[in-house]
Structure 1
Amino acid sequence: MKRMLKSALCAAIAMAGTVSAIAKDTPEKPAVHIAAASIGVTYLPLILAKELGYFKDEGLDVTIAAFSGGAKALQALLGGSTDMVAGAYSNTLTMAVKGQKLVTIAAQVNCPAWVFGIAKKNVGKVNAVKDLKGMRVGVSSPGSSTHMAVNYILHKAGLKAEDVSIIGVGQAAGAVAAIRSGQIDALVVNDPVATILVEGGDLTPLAEMRTEAGNKLVFGSDYPESSIYGTKAFVEKNPKTVQAVANAIVRAERWIAKATPQQVVDTVPAEYVVDDKGLYAKGFENSRRCISQTGILDPAGAQTVRDVLSAFDPEIGSAKIDITETYDNSFARKAAETIR
């Protein structure tokens, strides 16, 4: 009798699990390719959604391809070799000017968590941004969001974009090697590399975009950067797939919000740690406030991005862009309702 009851109970549990799985919307495109502009701390929601199995829980088989910058990840999307991008929200605005409709469906951060600084060899020679005229500045890749940030910082200092030479060095080991070898004079980079270089004395900050005060000093307020976006056509054709991606991202953000630095380090793939676990953990703590906990892109932040780009790019400044068409918070909001 006990065996019969036990069997019946197991069958009921199994059936409940099956019903739950059937009840969940089946993605139109279970295999999803996402191009990542970076593997830094501000991309943790994407990385950990995969490592923690959250994409699989949503019925998705996600492949992440890491690129050395947002411009290359964007090229992959426009070229059709990837379905979505983990990259800068600002790309939705720059592409809108060119007639390309991109839509951010989940924010990974509320601020970029970049550090812009000078190489050790220039300490004493470069005391302010205006002193960088004629020098080489490292960004993730030309045309990327880090490049745009440099253009804005130069503009505020009274310099033109062409007053410096832009060098693409990535945001990981390539950036470390470039600044330490003297290939570049200045660098804009995110964590964990920012913390690794500052702690090691290889990078002296001129501008810091991890704290509220730092973002206010540079941009006037927090500046949302890393997000998950796709073409408007893909989002409209695959709403269940997009919702599944948003669910996994928001769930990962909630996990990150409660996690200890050690838990994060233990979960991130070893090849993403760059140097050592202790410095990665410190880099995570330095940038933690920037990581979104809701996946929702703040409309005020979106306007700040538009204002920043318009300051140095007259084409964007004069363009008639409906900013509300460059992001859709409904996916993140629905994710918040379904995740318990």
Structure 2
Amino acid sequence: MTRFTKIVLSLASSLMLFSAGMAGAQTLEPVRFGVDAYTTGSQIWVAKEKGFFEKEGIDAQITTFATGVEAIDALLIGRADMAVGLDFPIVSRIQGGKLTVLAGIFHSKPGFHKLVVSNDIKDAKDLVGKKIGIATGTAQHLITMKYLEENGIAEDKVEIVGFTSLLEIVASLRSGRIDAAFTWADGTEKSTDGGDHYVLTDDAAAKRNSSAYIAAQTEFTEKHPELTVATLRALNAASQFIATNKDEAAALIAKNTRAPRDTVRDLLNYNEFALALTDYERAGFKEVADFLAKTKAQPVSFETGVNPKFLKEAAPDLVKLGN
């Protein structure tokens, strides 16, 4: 074999490898995800960073929103194909069939939300006549209402002030515009800095454990059923990684959300990351639906809002629903 022939063969081989690589890259299908700026989208960030999406042929395009509510709203206006949110905002937006819940994605343990109050409030009964801040339409909203209910405080005995973000709640606590609010993440420390406020209790006192769900545009699931299943497989792999590698997972999430790494690592302790559709998710879903029914919202049920077939195909063992 001449030197010229060797060069030609080498170039041909390199070209074939390059072409194969390009062909592989072109097989990735885009999926647009909406996540919040903290840990709600943990599995999505980990799946992207660890290559779980790429392994499933997915080009993950991720947009970060201030809250999970905004991420879910992005589905409704076509800015995302899938998004993660806590049960309250998802259940309250699922009427009309535009959204489909694919799976529970994590359970929130008690303690994630802290009730920060001004120093003159010593007990739940002292909230009567006070201004209480809520992140309207979020899980924190429902937790606040449940806490008042558990303590026998009628809603008309307090003044509820609605906000759209944690930042607004913190600023309003510090300025004295409101007297109390459930905060979370680094908002708790920021709210209590200065000594004028303290943590009275946490969301365990509201006696509910909330779940988060991965939801999708119904139209997307109908047009791309195989891609929907592939996404759940990637998220399941990410869940398993987080369970056994929390420190590394926290670093990956913090890098993408720009939240402090220590804060992210602490938040991971308040959630159990695992895909599931069980009676636990169904019970939590019903609790939110029943609460919304009191506000005369359009009725919604677990059976009409959740489609388990995609998770059944992706990971059959994770679907355990009784009759």
Using the size of structure 1 for normalisation, the TM-score is 0.71
Equivalent residues in 2 for 1:67-146, closer than 5 Å: 67-96=65-94, 98-111=95-108, 114-119=112-117, 122-128=118-124, 131=127, 133-139=129-135, 142-146=136-140
Q: Using the alignment, how far apart are the partners of 1:188 and 1:301 within structure 2?
A: 23
Q: Using the alignment, how far apart are the partners of 1:334 and 1:146 within structure 2?
A: 33
Q: Given the superposition, is the C-alpha separation of residues 92 and 170 from structure 1 closer, same or farther in structure 2, using an over 3 Å criterion?
A: closer
Q: Using the alignment, how far apart are the partners of 1:280 and 1:71 within structure 2?
A: 19
Residue of structure 1 equivalent to 2:47: 49
Q: Given the superposition, is the C-alpha separation of residues 312 and 93 from structure 1 closer, same or farther in structure 2, using an over 3 Å criterion?
A: closer
Q: Using the alignment, how far apart are the partners of 2:177 and 2:233 within structure 1?
A: 42
Is the contact made by 1:43 and 1:108 (CA closer than 8 Å) also made in structure 2?
no
Q: What is the Cα deviation at residue 206 of structure 1?
A: 4.3
Q: Given the superposition, is the C-alpha separation of residues 90 and 118 from structure 1 closer, same or farther in structure 2, using an over 3 Å criterion?
A: closer
Work out which of the residue numbers 307, 325, 329 in structure 1 matches 2:304: 325
Residue of structure 1 equivalent to 2:272: 291
What is the RMSD of the two structures over their aligned residues, measured on CA atoms? 3.7
SS at 2:32's partner residue?
Answer: strand
Question: Are 2:213 and 1:218 equivalent residues in the alignment?
Answer: no
Is the contact made by 1:223 and 1:304 (CA closer than 8 Å) also made in structure 2?
yes
CA shift digits 1:7-54 (9 cap, x unpaired)? xxxx9xx99xx9xx99xxx77xx1121222x23234311222222222
Is the contact made by 1:169 and 1:178 (CA closer than 8 Å) also made in structure 2?
no
Question: Are 2:213 and 1:232 equivalent residues in the alignment?
Answer: no
Is the contact made by 1:86 and 1:229 (CA closer than 8 Å) also made in structure 2?
yes
Q: 1:327 corresponds to which letter in structure 2? A: V
CA shift digits 1:74-122 (9 cap, x unpaired)? 33211122212211234443234x4234221132212266313114xx1
SS at 1:280's partner residue?
Answer: helix
Is the contact made by 2:92 and 2:292 (CA closer than 8 Å) also made in structure 1?
no
Q: Given the superposition, is the C-alpha separation of residues 292 and 282 from structure 1 closer, same or farther in structure 2, using an over 3 Å criterion?
A: closer
Q: Given the superposition, is the C-alpha separation of residues 271 and 301 from structure 1 closer, same or farther in structure 2, using an over 3 Å criterion?
A: closer
Structure 2: 5+ residue stretches without partners: 1-12, 318-323
Question: Are 2:322 and 1:334 equivalent residues in the alignment?
Answer: no
Q: Identify the range of structure 1 (194-203 vs 162-171) with the bigger mean alpha-carbon deviation.
A: 194-203
Q: Using the alignment, how far apart are the partners of 1:88 and 1:281 within structure 2?
A: 19
Work out which of the residue numbers 234, 247, 252 in structure 2 matches 1:248: 234
Question: Are 2:260 and 1:266 equivalent residues in the alignment?
Answer: no
Identical-pair percentage: 20
SS at 1:32's partner residue?
Answer: strand
Q: How many correspondences in the alignment?
A: 295
SS at 2:215's partner residue?
Answer: strand
Q: Using the alignment, how far apart are the partners of 1:126 and 1:299 within structure 2?
A: 37
Q: What is the Cα deviation at residue 257 of structure 1?
A: 0.5
SS at 1:150's partner residue?
Answer: helix
CA shift digits 1:174-203 (9 cap, x unpaired)? 655554454543333443655776799786
Q: What is the Cα deviation at residue 62 of structure 1?
A: 1.7
SS at 2:92's partner residue?
Answer: helix
Is the contact made by 1:136 and 1:186 (CA closer than 8 Å) also made in structure 2?
yes
Q: Given the superposition, is the C-alpha separation of residues 232 and 147 from structure 1 closer, same or farther in structure 2, using an over 3 Å criterion?
A: same
Greater strand content: 2
Residue of structure 2 equivalent to 1:280: 264
Residue of structure 2 equivalent to 1:303: 283
Is the contact made by 2:143 and 2:206 (CA closer than 8 Å) also made in structure 1?
no
For the pair shown, the structure with the greater C-alpha radius of gyration is 2
Question: Are 2:170 and 1:170 equivalent residues in the alignment?
Answer: no
Equivalent residues in 2 for 1:154-169, closer than 5 Å: 154-157=148-151, 158-160=153-155, 163-169=158-164
SS at 2:219's partner residue?
Answer: helix
Is the contact made by 2:116 and 2:183 (CA closer than 8 Å) also made in structure 1?
no
